[in-house]
Structure 1
Amino acid sequence: MADYTSNLKTWGDTGSEYPDGYNYVEGEQPVDAWDNFFNHNAQKDIDHLVSLTNKRLESGKGTNYPGSPENGELCWRSDNSRLAIYDEEYNGWREVAFRSDVAETEADLVPIRDQIDDHEADTTNPHNVTNDQVGAPSTADFAALVDAHNGIAQAVNDHIPNTSNPHNVTASQTGALPTGGGIVTGDIQHEGILLNEDRIITPQVFVDGPVTHDKHAVTKEYVDLSNEVGGGGPWIMSDGDINRSLNTWYQNTTEHPICVYASVGGRAIYQIQISPTVEQNDIMLWDLHSQNESFRLGTPFFVPPNWYYAVVCPETTELVEWTEYALAIGADISYN
């Protein structure tokens, strides 16, 4: 950009406008007012042109760019017929494109633009991005995770229907009585038998159906007490002896509790034994004895379904009576 300073001073008198086409004539005196008008306006016009010159961008031409250019300086390259502008921010010369150049460039950009569109729509991982780069698990890791999930799901599905006590829950944890026995502080009711905390056993059922039997040489038919006494008898029983022997194990196969009464004569010591297993493990014992030879010693006891029972007498003694009461509700009983 130019930096020109004029030496002209301001013309003081503005004068008067001279007629169009006026000029000096030899021998005539110049008109002062018209000369003042001319000089005043000429000085103003020159100052304006100097101002425009100083605002004008520098320009030049040549086969090379000028050195130390200023921002916006123009240069016509005569070697390639290109106009260039110096860009101070770019720190270099930028050539001005012609319209024909733009048209050619736009034509060249069409396939490039198509390639860009195709690239943006490409979902086949064209940049080969890895799972580590995006922080994702690998296919193998994901497959292992799926396998682990399926394994857990299968284990849960197998565990839910498992009724074999997989958590090893104990009877004490559930408030139940262990099979090996224990102390019960409340009432117990089992298959029609109530054992309260005072250890008093009471039948809890009533019978209104017939009873059948087919073994053990019962001497009399079973009697339906509900028919005999007008309804509501507490049990079905035999009215005579069952063919039983001392020191012999029997099993309650009636599918109902039974009440057994056995008595022996003379001076005797004997035990009542009941067990849930055929091996006679976990035996429950009652010791009884009599010192009077003429006294009949006997007591009732209850046997749950499928349990084994025996009256054990270490001495030879007489079995006076053996009676069994089968407890049931309104159903036929096959007494084996």
Structure 2
Amino acid sequence: MIKQLNSLLLLLLFTFSVLAQNPTQIYIEGDDIGQGFSVKRLNLCYFIAPNHVVAESVFLTLKGSDNLRSLGDGQTLQPFGYDLAVGHIAGSLSNQCGIEFNALSVNQTDIDKAKTVVVSTVNADGLISRTPAVVQETGLIYLTISPQDEKQIFFKGMSGSLVYAQGNPIGMLQSVESGYGFGKVLRLDRLIETTAPFFSSSLKQPTVQKIQTESSQTVEFIVSYWNLPPTSNELSAQLISDQDKNTYYETQLQGTAELDLSFKAHKDIKGIRLSLPNNSGIKDIEVLVSRKKSGKRGWISSASNTVLPSNNEVIINLQGVKAQRVKLKIYSSWNDKGLIRISEVQVF
């Protein structure tokens, strides 16, 4: 009974702490599954995660623990010692990145004095699970912890979870010894000093290739799926690929409009160009890509944009992703009745 009461008090203390200044945790899915957190630097968004979680994956699907459960894709940029890696985040998650890297800090005394902690883990749905734990050993680089409740265990997908003491992050769970129930935690002061050179003032930003709109070769596609019917048979979704800007697809938003573009094989996609008629209505749009030929799973958010009412052409850069399908998701309309129109879509 006393142990359960202590666990409850520990969770309450964590919940009511000022978490707004703490990093945004993310769920990572690639060839492996794990955890990490995001930080900003010079208006770009990055993740820090265990290298063994991300090292074998070319593309990573990320989900944030923010209120929107934002999606994004990740690309590893540089591995570090202590099984750490830093990567770039693209997609809607980059707009919910959280704190600046320079705002990360920890008091070494808080680490050395920590006796009970909370392991914070992001689930696949973006919700957070919290596991109370006890510090068994504290060293200069790692802490060893074990679950406070004997019925709870640490598992493989928890690697990269943040570990909190008194509501403040003090380390990252990096590995789990399932046979003994112990977890190895990298101290946050070691993590910061190890990755800090990457985020120094001389940091080179990821290069975004500029699209030459006049000479870029387009990629052929078929419109393989649309979820909303046209307002009339003459305004079919197939008109977005008839190479005639005088025709257009018209529909009325009921939730979100989706259009899937499929290619004959995997293609390197650099961007999407939308040609829009007057009063197109399109406001908020997201582009997702998939390396799979079919199916509802495997979509990765690659870019998002807000279209102004006066825009007749919109170019969305995708930074050279490899895909066999592209999905356009239109979330909102400038028109009161939710009417939207698209003349043409070109894929580079």
Under a length normalisation based on structure 1, what TM-score does the superposition of the two structures give?
0.28
Comparing both chains, which one has the higher relative contact order based on Cα–Cα distances under 8 Å and sequence gaps of 6 or more?
2
Under a length normalisation based on structure 2, what TM-score does the superposition of the two structures give?
0.27
Higher strand share: 2
Larger radius of gyration: 1
Higher helix share: 1
